[in-house]
Structure 1
Amino acid sequence: MGTYAAVVLAGGSARRMGGVDKPALPVGGRPMRDRVLAAVTDATPRVLVGTADAVPAGVRVVREDPPGGGPVAAAAAGLALLDSDATLVALLAADLPLLTRAAIGSLLTHLDRETIDTEPAGGGSAPAPPARSGLGGSERGPDGACFVDGDGRRQSLCGVWRVAALRAELDRLTVERGGNLAGAPVRALLANLVVREVPWSGDGPPPWFDCDTDEDVRRAEEWVR
Structure 2
Amino acid sequence: MVLAGGAARRMGGRDKPAVPVGGQPMRDRVLTAVAAADTRVVVGPAGPTPAGVRSTREDPPGGGPVAALAAGLALLDPATTVVAVLAADLPLLTRHAVDDLLHHLEAPSAVAARRDGHGSEVSANRHARGGPPEAPKPVDGACYVDAAGRRQSLCGVWRVPALRAALDRLAAERDGNLAGASLRALLAGLAVVEVRWLGDGPPPWFDCDTDNDVRRAEEWLR
Q: Identify whether the pair has TM-score above 0.5, normalized to the shorter chain.
A: yes
Q: In the alignment, which residue of structure 1 is the partner of 2:35?
A: 41
Q: Which residue of 1 aligns with 2:181?
A: 184
| Cross-structure match for 2:57 | 63
Letter in 2 for 1:164: P
Where structure 2 has 5 or more consecutive residues not aligned to the other structure, the ranges are: 117-121, 126-136
Contact between 1:169 and 1:189, CA under 8 Å: does it hold in 2?
yes
CA–CA distance in structure 1, aligned partners of residues 25 and 46 of structure 2: 11
CA distance in structure 2 between the partners assigned to 1:196 and 1:137 by the alignment: 13
Given residue 79 of structure 1, which amino acid in structure 2 is its aligned partner?
L
2:96 matches 1:81 = no
Measure the CA separation in 1 of the matches of 2:124 and 2:221: 40
Question: Is 1:10 equivalent to 2:10 in the alignment?
Answer: no
Partners of 1:138 and 1:170 in 2: how far apart?
A: 23
Which residue is equivalent to 2:221?
224
What's the counterpart of residue 93 of structure 2?
A: 99
Q: Aligned to 2:123, what secondary structure does the other structure show?
A: coil
Q: Does 1:27 align with 2:21?
A: yes
* Equivalence for 2:198: 201
CA contact (8 A) 1:149 1:155 kept: yes
CA distance in 1, matches of 2:35, 2:46: 18
- Whether 2:48 is the aligned partner of 1:54: answer yes
Q: CA deviation at 1:183?
A: 0.6
Measured after TM superposition, the shift of residue 53 of structure 1 is 2.6
TM-score by length of structure 1 reads 0.89
Q: Match for 2:82: what amino acid?
A: L
Runs (4+) of structure 1 moved beyond 4 Å? none
Inter-partner Cα distance in structure 2 for 1:115 and 1:155: 19
Cα distance in 1, alignment partners of residues 59 and 109 from structure 2: 38
> Which residue of the other structure, out of 81, 91, 115, is the alignment partner of 2:109?
115
In structure 2, C-alpha distance between the alignment counterparts of 1:36 and 1:51, rounded to whole Å: 16
SS at match of 2:157: strand
Corresponding position: 1:152 with 2:138 = no
- Using the aligned pairs only, state the percent identity: 70
- Corresponding residue for 1:211? 208
More moved, 52-61 vs 104-113: 52-61
Distance in 2 of aligned mates of 1:162 and 1:25? 30
CA contact (8 A) 1:137 1:194 kept: no
For these two proteins, the number of residue pairs brought into alignment is 206
Q: What is the aligned partner in structure 2 of residue 142 from structure 1? A: 139
Q: 1:84-129: CA deviations, max 9, x gaps? A: 110000000000000000000000000001234xxxxxxxxxxxxx
Q: CA deviation at 1:18?
A: 1.1
Q: Deviations along 1:7-35, whole A, 9 cap, x unmatched?
A: 10000001111111110100011100000
- Give the counterpart of 2:113 among 112, 126, 132: 132
Mind listing any 5+ residue stretches in structure 1 that lack a counterpart?
Answer: 1-6, 117-129
Q: Determine the C-alpha separation between the residues in 1 that align with 2:203 and 2:109.
A: 25
CA distance in 2, matches of 1:103, 1:169: 25
